[in-house]
Homo-oligomer: A and B are copies of this chain.
Amino acid sequence: MADPQKRLETMLAKLKEKEMRITPQRFAVLKILSESSEHPSVERIYEQVRGDFPTTSLATIYKTIILLKGIGEVLEIGFGDGSSRYDGNKPYPHPHLICTRCRTIIDPDLDSLHDMTAEVSEETGFRITSHRLDFFGLCSECQKNR
């Protein structure tokens, strides 16, 4: 998480540019996304927004997330099971390291990945638009605790 304030402003600017309204509920979601490094779930965002706006509906969170996905300002990280988590700080594809026990997600550095896309593209003739690279395992903490 580089600079939450700046990230928030970027997202706000993007919404304005697209002539979308910045409602209090949307603002709350954006704020949470910009400040979170934990890759929150919809449910988690929902709970936090309800802290400020107790009448907020879960549907509104979903709609806001879909909106943000649509304009490329949030990245969805789908687990193997149905559930998803969201990254509002790095909305472009990047590798994740997921602890299958405590569900922590961290973003490892991995430069070597960059060339792969070109390699695959050339090999197959695909025009590659996106990718997904996730590693699953146990974080060092969870390795200790049994």
For A124, the chain B residues whose CB sits under 8 A away are 97, 106, 108, 139-140
Q: Are A78 and B80 in contact (CB under 8 A)?
A: yes
Helix, strand, loop or mixed for chain A's interface?
Answer: mixed
Out of B76, B117, B133, which one reaches A80, CB within 8 Å? B76
Choice from B109, B131, B136 contacting A134 with Cβ under 8 Å: B131
A6: min CB distance to chain B, Å: 26
- A129 — nearest CB in chain B belongs to which residue? B137
Chain A interface size, under 10 / 10 to 19 / 20 to 34 / 35 or more? 35 or more
Which of B112, B116, B123, B135 makes the CB contact (< 8 A) with A128?
Answer: B135
Chain copies in complex: 2
- Whether the pair A126, B139 counts as a contact (CB closer than 8 A) is yes
Set of chain B residues within 8 Å of A129, measured between Cβ atoms: 100, 136-138
| Contact between chains at A119 and B127 (CB < 8 Å) | no
Check: A20 CB closer than 8 A to any chain B CB.
no
Q: Give, as a whole number of angstroms, the nearest-CB distance from A25 to chain B.
A: 25
Give the distance to chain B from A80, nearest Cβ to Cβ, in Å.
6
22 A-B pairs, CB-CB below 8 angstroms? Answer: A95-B120, A97-B126, A100-B129, A108-B123, A108-B124, A109-B123, A110-B116, A110-B119, A113-B116, A117-B135, A121-B137, A125-B139, A126-B137, A126-B140, A127-B137, A127-B143, A128-B136, A129-B137, A130-B136, A131-B133, A132-B134, A133-B133
